[in-house]
Amino acid sequence: MKGLFFLIVMLISNCCIAQTDIELKIINDSIKKVSIFDSNTIVFSLKNISKKNYLLVLDFEFNEHPEYYVEPEFIGLLDYYVFENDSIIKPEGVTSNNTNEFIVDTKSLDFKKFYKAYSKVFSKHDIEIAFRLDKKIKVLKPGEEKYFSVEVNFPKYRRRYIDLKNHHPYYFQISLNTPKEIIEKYYLKTHNKYSKDIIFTGQIFSNKVPLLYEVYNDK
């Protein structure tokens, strides 16, 4: 709970605990939800405003953990937040048959090469985490901006539920959280420490956009 409280304070004060060289922006003017069965596509951009090459761990799903915890198996997942006016709405944890899955093709040629190179560095499970992380790396060159999209559903996204009511003043925000301790454990061991490329660590937040919740089949 202390971690969640810290996150809420940080969001409200619009603070960042990461390099400010990377900008995260939601492209949608607003998000309109009209049916609980329809998902919403969130278009976003990541821009490198520095003069250095950045490497980012990025996956195209959202974190479903109700406490916003970043699990090593799912590093690179975006996170999302819903506000009513300026107050963040705390999610609830619910059961779901559709959850984030940690899947690594251990029979692939790429994995076999990775295993041969680093099997003495990692345990059996950790090498699968390190391999997945390595495959999720995106490169942002100086001044480069890239666009992506990801799907989300309201009020329930997998194991995360946010209680929403029609016609309330909601706002939506996303973040990318890459804990330094996970990168140090699973990535830096496998790469040249003298490389000039910078791996992004920390957390950045996007702009907020209106979430128009007008669901005809809600409850």
pLDDT score at 188: 81
In degrees, rounded to 5, the angle at the alpha carbon of residue 85 between the alpha carbons of residues 81 and 90 is: 40
pTM for the model:
0.87
pLDDT at residue 10 is higher than 50: no
- Joined together, the tokens standing for residue 159 give 């194991």
Distance, CA of 61 to CA of 192 (rounded, Å): 29
Residue 93: predicted pLDDT = 87
pLDDT band at 219 (very low <50, low <70, confident <90, very high): low
Flag whether pLDDT at 77 surpasses 70: yes
- In the DSSP assignment, the letter for residue 162 is -
Q: How confident is the model at residue 193 (pLDDT cuts 50, 70, 90)?
A: low
DSSP state of 18: S
Extract the tokens encoding 107: 């029979």
pLDDT at 201: 95
Which segment of 22-36, 63-77, 90-104, 154-168 scores lowest on mean pLDDT? 90-104
pLDDT of 211 reads 98
CB 136 within 8 A of CB 110: no
The pLDDT value recorded for residue 6 is 45
